[in-house]
Amino acid sequence: MKSSLGEDGAVEPLVEMFKSGNHEAKHSVLAALRNLSSSLQNAEILINCGITGSLLQLLCSVTSVLMTLREPAAAILSNIAESDRILLHRDAAPQMLSLLNLSCPVIQLHLLRALNSICGHTNAKRARAKIRQNGGVQLLLPFLREKNVGIKVAALNLMFHLSKDASQELAEQIRETHLDILVKIIASPTPGIAEKAAAVGVLSNLPVSDKNITKFLTQANLLPVLISLLEANISASPSPQKMWLLEGIASVLTRFTVPWDKKLQSLAVGHGVLPWLVKLLSEGSVKAKSKSATSLAQLSQNSVALRKAKSPRWLCVPPSAESYCIVHDYQCTIKSTFCLVKAGAVNPLVKILEGEEREADGAVLEALATLVQDEIWENGSRAIEKASGVHALLRVAEAGELTSQDKAIWILERIFRLEEHREQYGGIAQALLIDLAQKGDPVLKPMIGRILAHLQLLQTQSSYF
């Protein structure tokens, strides 16, 4: 009915009445527009009618007679901000930001929701930058101590949006006291999923390379808290908030699995992170899958260095099949070598490549690439092939993003070094590879040339190299 009224032309005359009418008329019009603006179609009509500036002007007014109009005006702004046409008004977001500390809690919540909608639009990078330039992050930090949960969650969400493309800027402004508040929100049993997800989201945007932040979060025992949250929510009935929470946790866990800190990796694996990362590959969103694959890749980068020598050959009892790893040719365990094979990660990684979503391809390929490092490429190739990985890699080589194509072809080159794989898959691969060499990006041609040489379809001295 709301959309129908908008289509019948009810919005435009109401806007004119709001701009030119007396106080009583404005009050009635705002009540009607508040209802109508919850329709996205009507929100766009309202923006096109130029109501944004008039609403902001009303919010900035200090005239006592207009004070009663400020709350419905802020509510309408919150509704119309869900349309990305609001981005055409480049000064709207900074003006709303400037009003935050001058408004009552009800209006603050409307403004925060409006700013969240604005910053959440896919093409809002410039708007987010403008809010940051106007001190947005610094202005939001005091809201971490806000008693009103709705306002606190909205402020955390906005901080998350603002830091998506400015993680270093966030790190420079956030203090240990703020980190402590965020950790307590996540660890406390009282806050709801929305509040925890928002706090985890902010932490997920902090730069992984900042060792001081990592040290603080480690000493604050955040790691076991995150794993407990994973355990409690990964198989629970899905909701957008739970999905966001799991995505944030998967992202923060990449901080505790960085390849340059084996001690930190051991701590994470000791807390049982590896099985949950593997489970996220099957049950998480594509973003959670991507972040989980990144953590698995980082852990697996050190598996070769950490592997333990096999028992001496003179022992009467050979090592058990359960402990022996076919890829690393050593006795691997999850805790001692962070082995992807022992963790059961290879099949779910390949499964992601077989799916329709391509966002996680890059991280998955990085993880699989650790199984074909120079020292273990032969056994790793067999493990990937056994998991039906050749078909999946060929699919990415054909239809993935350029960086994913490049990595998939790099892995395929190692797989096709083995005669058994050339015999089994050479026929289905050659047509695709030749077509890709002729029509694909030139950067792929040298590695494709190597594969074609393995398949004896190209001389090793060819210009492809």
pLDDT in tens, the chain (465 residues): 878 887 778 889 998 998 888 888 889 999 999 999 999 999 999 999 999 999 999 998 877 667 889 999 999 999 999 999 999 998 999 999 999 988 899 999 999 999 999 999 999 999 999 999 999 999 999 999 999 999 999 999 999 999 988 888 889 899 999 999 999 999 998 888 999 999 999 999 999 999 999 999 999 999 999 999 999 998 877 888 999 999 999 999 999 999 999 999 999 999 999 999 999 999 989 999 999 999 999 999 999 888 754 444 444 555 566 678 888 877 888 888 899 999 999 999 999 999 999 999 999 999 999 999 999 999 999 999 999 999 999 999 999 999 999 999 999 999 999 999 999 999 899 999 999 989 999 999 999 999 999 988 765 545 554
- pLDDT at res. 317: 53
Tokens of 294: 């990144």
Q: How many CB atoms lie within 10 A of CB 219?
A: 9
pTM: 0.90
- pLDDT at res. 459: 58
- pLDDT at res. 461: 47
* Three-class SS state of 325: strand
CA distance 381 to 373: 10
Angle at 218 between CA 217 and CA 219, to 5 degrees: 95
- pLDDT at res. 10: 81
Tokens of 376: 């273990």
Half-sphere exposure for 102 (CA within 13 Å, toward CB) = 12
Q: For residue 193, give Cα distances in angstroms to 22, 91, 130, 202, 242.
A: 45, 33, 30, 14, 7
DSSP 8-state symbol, 206: S
CA distance 157 to 204: 12
| Residue 403: φ, ψ to 5° | -65, -35
- pLDDT at res. 52: 93
Tokens of 398: 């054909």
- pLDDT at res. 310: 44
CA 339, 342, 344, 347 dihedral sign is: positive
Q: For residue 231, give Cα distances in angstroms to 132, 192, 437.
A: 36, 16, 46
- pLDDT at res. 228: 94
Sequence-distant (6+) residues with CB within 8 A of 293 are: 281, 349, 352, 360, 363, 364, 366, 367
